Homo-oligomer: A and B are copies of this chain.
């Protein structure tokens, strides 16, 4: 708490910088991708990193995350979902000074390729299971973000944030499979999605054609009004992670 402020002048403390870093996820070609940028400045110049930057005096933390995402990638579409992930602030995580980073997790539907914006030499969507080395402790942040995303898909309808306005049950299943990295039983998934109240609602429409490799036209759905999935849609058993 701030009790110290009256007694201590914070300006006499060693300076602390506060940044936001964003783990922006999307699905491309059935694989989970993360947005990374090539750093254009020291330290770690030329290395890959998560997009992010300093907070400004007049903006809140989430606002800073959205701004940094837009600035460094040139994407003008705000992500379909953004939430705070965690904060990282151990001494020594930045070689120059104490830096506390507040990370955000963003979900976006398949977006165009980003273009490098301010302070980034390049910006690309990269598959999460094959990311190059990242600067600072960004590999840890990314891992935490991916685990959070996997977990969120279990008990919230946020998978729809990766999809367009309307989608088929199979497209939704591909999102789950991509994020979880596990194949799912199509019939059981279909039954489950339709049985959870408020997860999706039918549009009355179907796709205009069958799939490119055959199969009937699929019904189209849009996101429902549920905020939580109940009962949850759980990942296939992860025995190893229980103990």
Chain A positions near chain B (C-beta within 8 angstroms): 1-8, 10-11, 13-19, 21, 37, 39-43, 49-55, 57-61, 68, 84, 86-91, 94, 96-102, 119-120, 135-136, 138, 197-198, 225-228, 230, 237-238, 241-243
A237: chain B residues at CB < 8 Å are: 230
Which of B52, B57, B198 has a CB less than 8 Å from the CB of A91?
B57
Given contacts A16-B18, A100-B100, A242-B230, whether A4 and B54 have CB atoms under 8 Å apart is yes
> Hey, which chain B residues are within 8 Å of A39, CB to CB?
1, 3
Contact yes or no, B3 A120, CB < 8 A: yes
State whether A7 and B41 are in contact (beta carbons under 8 Å apart), knowing that A14-B57, A198-B242, A226-B243 are contacts in the complex: yes
| Residues of the B chain whose Cβ atoms lie less than 8 Å from the Cβ of A37 | 1
Give me 10 other A-B pairs in contact (C-beta within 8 A), A61-B88, A226-B242 excluded.
A1-B52, A2-B94, A3-B40, A3-B120, A4-B54, A5-B96, A16-B17, A55-B100, A87-B102, A227-B241
A17, closest chain B residue (CB): B10
Residue of B nearest to A224 (CB): B243
Per a CB cutoff under 8 Å, which of B4, B101, B238 touches A119? Answer: B4
A-B complex: 9 closest residue pairs judged by Cβ atoms: A1-B52, A3-B119, A60-B90, A6-B41, A10-B17, A61-B89, A14-B57, A87-B87, A6-B42
Q: Are A13 and B54 in contact (CB under 8 A)?
A: yes
